Amino acid sequence: MLKKLSEEKQKLILEKATDEFGRCGKADAKISRIAGAAGVSVGVIYKYYTDKDTLFHICLENSLKTLSEVLTTSGASNDAEEMLRNILASIREFSKENPSVIRMYHAITSEPDEKEAAELAAEIEGISSSLYKDWISDGIEAGTIREDASPEMSAFFFDNLLMMLHFSYALPYYRQRYRIYCGKDVDSAASEKLLEEQLVAFLKAALNPAAQQGGKP
């Protein structure tokens, strides 16, 4: 069978590779399984991607691009609470539709090689970290965030919570963990509503207790 590798086929390879890497980790991923899943022969993969490592990194970059696009575009709003709700919605949808991307992210955070870890982190975390830091700095200046909050630390805590939310949607272990903590599926309608309300409240209180307070006469 000799169908010319169309654009879609290439995309499919990357998608299946991302799945495989996300599911098994770099070391346990099998090129032959990726080829099989994408419906191509092994040789094709090596025609388009030098080797396993290269393929992994391309999947990674792709995933991260997608991920950071989602995070940065969803965060556009003047109102903090609205922005936050937008972000949560994005995370919910994205994680459900692209669990592999999140698994990829999780997989690289296991990377034991110091140097490579550093490079990846720089590439990935750079954008959102400054986004969040700026946002918090602005908030402090505007008086909407408590003035003793360190922008750096607060952004860090904030992203930590979002990160774990991603994991809770996309990784089996974390999904189960959610069930243990909250007694229901993270996918359930009940969760969707409660999680959003509670996280918004939690973060608003954490960053601006006064406003929170003010809301309750």
Partner DNA sequence: AATGAATGAGGTTTCATTCAT
Partner DNA sequence: TATGAATGAAACCTCATTCAT
Neighbours of 24 (CB within 10 A): 14
Nearer to its own copies, 28 or 141 (CB): 28
Helix (H) or strand (E) holding 133: helix 114-142
Q: Tell which residue, 79, 71, 87, 63, has the closest CA to residue 128.
A: 71
Q: Which two tokens stand for residue 204?
A: 């608003």
CA distances from 165 to 12, 27, 57, 194 (A): 27, 26, 24, 13
- Confirm or reject binding of residue 153 to its own copies (CB under 8 A): yes
Residues in region 61-80 near its own copies by CB under 8 A: none
Distance CA 152, CA 136 (A): 8
- Confirm or reject binding of residue 163 to its own copies (CB under 8 A): yes
Residue ranges in contact with DNA by CB under 7 A: 1-6, 9, 28-32, 40-44, 46-47, 51-53
Distance CA 216, CA 49 (A): 59
- Nearest distance from residue 62's CB to DNA, in Å? 18
Report the partner that residue 2 touches, choosing among DNA, its own copies, none (CB closer than 5 to 8 A by kind). Answer: DNA
Amino acid in the structure at residue 23: R
Among 42, 89, 118, 190, binds its own copies (CB under 8 A): 118
- Confirm or reject binding of residue 194 to its own copies (CB under 8 A): yes
Residues that bind its own copies (CB under 8 A): 23-28, 103, 106-114, 117-118, 120-122, 125-126, 129, 133, 146, 148-150, 152-157, 159-161, 163-165, 167, 171-183, 194-195, 198-199, 201-203, 205-207, 209-210, 212-213, 216
